[in-house]
């Protein structure tokens, strides 16, 4: 029963991410900026989401952060001349390194969305 529930959850997340990527393509990023998507996986990710979001907003070159619109993902608008996607992912992984049960990885995809103000 658990395997079936996990499979349904995986399918639901996949559909949600796909539909969000298609439906929300109108999201805007400031000139000189770029939207990146981090996939966050692990048991501790949900409870650390607010901490991660607050810390990312403090990084130089981070314009906006949305940690709530897409399950298991964080959308971040960055100034590409000030910070890279790899640096953002490393910052998240550094924050949660003590716990070890949440990891962030840059996604090479078309997810884009208007980040709520």
**Domains of the chain, with CATH numbers?**
2-107 (3.30.70.100)
Angle between helices 45-58 and 85-95 (to 10 degrees): 130
Give CA–CA dist 30/88, Å, rounded: 18
Quick check: pTM over 0.75?
Answer: no
Give CA–CA dist 11/37, Å, rounded: 19
| DSSP structural state of residue 114 | P
Residue-wise pLDDT tens digits, 13-47: 554 544 344 333 334 555 567 899 999 988 888 88
Residue-wise pLDDT tens digits, 76-103: 999 999 999 999 999 888 887 666 678 8
């Amino acid at each position: 029963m658990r395997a079936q529930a996990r499979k349904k959850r995986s399918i639901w997340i996949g559909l949600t991410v796909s539909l969000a990527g298609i439906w929300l393509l109108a999201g805007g990023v400031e000139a000189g900026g770029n939207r990146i998507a981090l996939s966050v996986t692990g048991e501790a990710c949900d409870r650390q989401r607010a901490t991660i979001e607050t810390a990312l907003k403090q990084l130089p070159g981070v314009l906006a952060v949305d940690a709530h619109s897409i399950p298991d993902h964080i959308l971040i608008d960055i100034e590409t001349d000030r910070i890279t996607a790899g640096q953002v992912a490393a910052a998240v992984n550094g924050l949660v390194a003590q716990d070890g049960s949440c990891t962030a990885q840059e996604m090479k995809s078309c997810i884009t969305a208007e980040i709520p103000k």
